[in-house]
Chain A
């Protein structure tokens, strides 16, 4: 695609694809291009900490408005996700991690819908890989710390109450699903939903623009273009729901993996 084709309107429609997610570097540091998602990731951490520092700074017995808002989110992760999943005995020490993951994913997801930012960081698989890696290391580490290395392997691979030759089939399967597959599904699920959501929004808005301006016959193009933009708005709302749901699901699954690793029984 030459620069000429951008200036001169063409009749051709370039379908948006993975190339739209490969943004050029904003500036370079030591030869490494610093891209928009990199800045967004840092911004998300600043927002997450800044917001919740402000909300918890003067945490009092009777909460103010800010504290109440912060507590609502914190309670959601602490009670609904961590305590209900891990159980009231062990949950407390995992709350900071789960809260961090939840805020980090949620804010980066919502970057996809915030005007001017409009890019979900988690549509770059590198970040979801990092998060899934953290969850994988943590749940295996706490499991090994609790049961011992072989105890933990047995805990994860031998289902309770099953013995005999069936174990020959079950143990590799359980090992595969509980130890190997989990980080991949975690990373892919979050990446794929954010990637697909953003792609859909781009598709409907770019397609709408193309239909409005370049399609002939023109009246058909205008009608279809308006419909396309309406769909873009609809998909954006759906995407917002998914942004929250994926943050919730990622945190909940992390909590469940930790819970499964530290539990006494299956």
Chain B
């Protein structure tokens, strides 16, 4: 009687520590299928996204580095150009200054020569006019003197040849005395 009760109790209270073969097999099969699906589809999908993300970030960094390097190169280039331009400007200024000085000097020289030319010309003209005046004076003085002397002496000195000789002589004496 007691034995049957115990047996009945044992039947009613199954031992939860004893695994069922069917459950083990089912568990293995289901996990195997799930593992297959996850390793073939889910994990590659995620890993692909991760890889793309890494590439995108690294690519972005590389692009930024390239841009930075380009900007640096451009800046250096521009600075060099600026320095060149400054140098060029200084050179041109120097040249202009030299040229200006040369032009001024040339102008001065030209003006000087022009001035001296004008002075020379004036001197020559004055000399010519004086010569002319001297010549005409001499003729005038001769005529005047002979007519004056003829009046005083009363002698006609109309003989031109003679009077001219007399006047010449007189003037020569005058010049010799002078």
Which residues from chain A sit less than 8 Å from chain B, CB to CB? 17-19, 21-22, 32, 37-38, 41-42, 44-45, 48-49, 52-53, 55-57, 59-61, 63, 67, 70-71, 74, 78, 95-97, 99-101, 103-104, 123-127, 129-131, 133-134, 191, 195
Complex contact B26–A49 (CB within 8 A): no
Among B23, B41, B56, contact of A126 (Cβ-Cβ < 8 Å): B23
Give the docked Cα–Cα distance between A121 and B46 (Å): 28
9 A–B pairs (Cβ distance < 8 Å), ordered by A: A19-B14, A42-B30, A56-B42, A96-B38, A103-B34, A104-B31, A104-B34, A129-B23, A130-B26
Interface flag for B107 (CB, 8 Å): no
Interface of A is mostly: helix
Chain B residues with CB under 8 Å of A74's CB are 42-43, 46
Measured CB to CB, the residues of B under 8 A from A are: 12-28, 30-31, 33-35, 37-39, 41-43, 45-46, 48-49, 52-53, 56
The answer to whether A96 and B13 have CB atoms under 8 Å apart is no
Query: What is the CB-to-nearest-CB distance from B114 to chain A, in angstroms, rounded to a whole number?
Result: 87
B45 touches A100 (CB 8 A): no
B147 to chain A minimum Cβ distance, whole angstroms, is 135
Q: B14 near A52 (CB under 8 angstroms)?
A: no
Give the Cβ gap from B13 to chain A, nearest Cβ, in Å. Answer: 5
Q: List 9 tightest A-B contacts by C-beta distance, closest first.
A: A126-B23, A130-B27, A96-B39, A56-B45, A59-B49, A126-B19, A127-B27, A100-B35, A45-B34
B18→A125 contact, CB < 8 A: yes
Instruction: Choose among B42, B49, B56 the residue that contacts A49 (Cβ–Cβ < 8 A).
Output: B42
Q: Are B13 and A18 in contact (CB under 8 A)?
A: yes
Chain A residues with CB under 8 Å of B31's CB are 45, 100-101, 104, 130-131, 134
